[in-house]
Copies of this chain bind each other. A is one copy, B any other.
């Protein structure tokens, strides 16, 4: 009974800490951003007054006009002359939108206007999100041997113990990902976008590859973007490869935690599966000896009864 109590207490502790973490974040964000917001708000207000003074426009008429402009802006329709050159729904932009939808990044720089568009978005993501995960997983499983198993094996053969070997490998992989998917792309975005600082670039990469996708920075949205279709295509490839590497990094971290007993410490479910060969079996069928194929075929396809059926597990 004491154990049940302790276990619930632990879970409640987790949730309590989560709420505290949110409150802590809220306090920091509020402290940092509020003065900036007030400043910007004041600036805009002064600008509006100046505009009203310089012209013979009535405040109500301007307010009414701005209301419509901002409503259109919400849907990605801009009233400015320069910005309206490109549509949000040409083929390249639509594909970019579809891509951010199925990867759950969702910048929201343009959003469906019509009810049909909204309904189709739901239907499209319903199939697309799981399918994207499937493709990503298939790719990650292929990369697991050359990028994780082989290097760790190499490190071990060069004299390192298993634990330091996995740790050294993880740090090296992390550095590689930070370099290739954060620092270099951020530098490229800074160069191409013009108005982005390097921090903006890093911020964009991070917010995108975590699938948060706030949408305050979206590439290729400048009025006179050169080679826009090509550029958007490159960003889509970057997003796909980046998400793949983030997932690989997560899997590697989980595996390292297994070796270091971290998952045991946090009492997380361990990474290892019933079949120790799992990591050598990509989702998409991998080359194996014909004999092994037959064996696996026999155990997997012909004897469905041998599969663990979760309904037979009874609570002790």
Contact = CB atoms under 8 A, between A and B. Distances in A.
A81 B70 CA distance: 13
A113 B142 CA distance: 40
A7 B213 contact: no
A311 interface: yes
Contact of A283 (B135, B236, B255, B268): B268
A156 interface: yes
A138 interface: yes
A108 B215 contact: yes
A179 interface: no
A70 B83 CA distance: 11
A266 B283 contact: yes
A153 interface: yes
A311 B10 contact: no
Contacts of A135: 14-15, 18
B111 A214 contact: yes
A118 B29 CA distance: 10
Nearest to A107: B108
Interface string A89-105: 11110110111111011
A27 B89 CA distance: 9
Contact of A68 (B47, B54, B120): B47
Given A47-B69, A165-B311, A280-B316, 15 more contacts: A3-B285, A11-B142, A14-B284, A37-B113, A43-B72, A48-B69, A74-B216, A125-B207, A134-B266, A145-B315, A149-B315, A211-B211, A258-B308, A261-B301, A270-B307
Closest 8 CB pairs of A and B: A25-B98, A106-B212, A26-B95, A108-B214, A111-B216, A26-B94, A152-B311, A3-B287
16 contacts: A7-B287, A18-B135, A22-B102, A26-B92, A44-B69, A55-B56, A74-B216, A104-B210, A108-B108, A111-B214, A149-B310, A150-B315, A152-B310, A162-B312, A261-B301, A272-B273
